Chains A and B, each alone.
Chain A
Amino acid sequence: MNELIWIFVSALLINNFVLAYFLGLCPFLGVSGRLETSFRLGLATTFVMLITALCAWFLNNYVLIHAPYLRLISFIVVIASTVQFIEMLIKKLSPALFKALGIFLPLITTNCAILGLAIFSTNKGYGLAQGMLYALGAGLGFTLALVLMAGLREESETAPIPRLMRGTAINLIIAGILSMAFMGFAGLFSAA
C-alpha cells in the first residue's frame, strides 16, 4: 500500500513529468496562455494517459513478449488510435466539450508525456495497479504544472517585462523557477 502511495506522489510532485523530465513541453508552452483551457487539456491528457497505461500493460504482457522490437511502434499506434477514438466519442456524446477542446484534442497524440509514460512504466516493470496509479499521478502532475504556469502567465502579461524578453524567453525562465520550487518536494520522502 505504502509503495502505491509513493508511486503516485512521486509522479505527481517529485518527478513531475513537465518540470523534472521535460516531457510535454509543447502543450506546456503552447496552451498555457489561458487558465480554463489548460485545465481542460490537462484532464483530457490524464484520461488518455490512463487508457494508454492500461493498453501498455496489456501489450507488454500478451503481445510484446513475442516481439520486443515492436514496442515503440505498437505504443505509438495505440496512442494515436486511442486519441482518435476519444475524439469521436466526445464528439458524439458532448459536442459542447468537443468544441471547447478544439485542436488540442488531436494534438495529444504528439505529446511526448504520454509515450514517455508508457516507456517509463515498462522500464520500471510496473504491474497493472502500479501502472494505473503512475499514470494518474503523472496526468494530474501535468495538469498541475499546466495550471500553475497558466496562472503565472496571466499575471506576467500585465507585468513590466522588457520587450525583448516577452514570449518564450520569459516563459522558460518562469518554468525554470517553477521547476526549482518543485525540487523542494524531493525532501518529502527522504525522511521516510
Chain B
Amino acid sequence: MPKTQADAYQEFIKGLWRDNPVFVQVLGMCPMLAVTNSAVNALAMGGATCFVLVASSILVASLKQWIPKQVRISTYIIIIATFVTVTDLALQALVPEIHKELGAFIPLIVANCMILGRQEAFASRSSVSLATVDALGMAGGFLFALFSLGSVREILGEGKFFGMDLFGPEFEPWVIMILPPGGFLTLGLLLLFFSWVKERKERLAERLAETGGASL
C-alpha cells in the first residue's frame, strides 16, 4: 500500500515543519513559554505534552463512533484531563526534582489548545493509525519548538547548555532571557526567523517559475 504510506509520511512531516504547531500555527504557547528557561525543562515539558497528545489522539480516534456530537468537546477535555493526571502523578513519582521545577504547569497541559485542536480537527475524523501518525508529527514539532526555545534561552541567559559551561567565566549572562520578557522576545524573534525562511523559499520558487524552469 504505497499510497497510504505516502499519506502517513505527509501527515508526519506536516506536523514537524510546514504546520508546526508553535512556529506556524502559534498554538499551545500558554504552558510552553513559562517553563522553557532551560533545555532540560523544555524537554520534560515537551515529553509530557507529547505523551498526552498521542495517547488522547489514539483514544479519541478509536472511540469516535460512540462519542455523541453534542458533548464531544467535553468528552475530549475529560479524556485529555485523565491522561494529564496520569502524567502528573507519574512524573511526581519518577522524577521529583523535575516535577518540582515544572510545578503547576503540568496540570495546565489540559488547557493547551493545540491538543484539543488536534482532537477536533483530526483525530475525531480519521482512522486510529493515521491519527497516531498525525499526533506523533505534531508532538515532534511541538517538542522541536520547545527545545529550540529552551536552548536559546539557556545559552544566552546562563551561558550554559544542559548545565555545561559554554563561554567560560568572562561571559556576562543575559539575565533577561531566563526571565519572563525573554520568553516573549525569543519566541517573537524565532517567529521572525521562520517567516524570513518561508519568504526566501517562496521568492526562490518564483524566480524558478520566471525562468520557466530552464535551469532544471
Contacts and interface: CB of A to CB of B under 8 A. Distances in A.
A169 B30 contact: no
B77 A76 contact: yes
A19 B104 CA distance: 17
Contact of A172 (B84, B110, B188, B199): B188
A72 B182 contact: no
Interface stretch (B8-16, B164-172, B190-198, B207-215): B190-198
The A interface, classified by DSSP as helix, strand, loop or mixed, is helix
A89 interface: no
A72 to B, nearest CB: 5
The B interface, classified by DSSP as helix, strand, loop or mixed, is helix
A110 interface: yes
Contacts, number: 112
B138 to A, nearest CB: 17
Using C-beta atoms within 8 Å of the partner chain, give the interface range for chain B: 35 or more
Given A111-B111, A164-B192, A176 B85 contact: no
Chain A to chain B: the 7 pairs with minimum beta-carbon distance, closest first: A172-B188, A176-B184, A112-B111, A176-B185, A22-B33, A173-B188, A180-B181
12 contacts: A22-B32, A23-B108, A25-B29, A110-B111, A112-B112, A115-B110, A120-B104, A167-B195, A168-B26, A168-B188, A176-B182, A176-B184
Interface of A: 19-26, 29, 69, 71-73, 76-77, 80, 110-113, 115-116, 119-120, 123, 164-165, 167-173, 175-177, 179-180, 183
Interface of B: 26-27, 29-34, 74, 77-78, 81-82, 84-85, 88-89, 103-104, 107-108, 110-113, 116, 176, 179-185, 187-189, 191-192, 195-196, 199
Given A168-B26, A176-B185, 12 more contacts: A21-B180, A23-B34, A24-B30, A29-B29, A71-B107, A73-B82, A110-B116, A112-B108, A116-B104, A168-B188, A172-B185, A173-B188
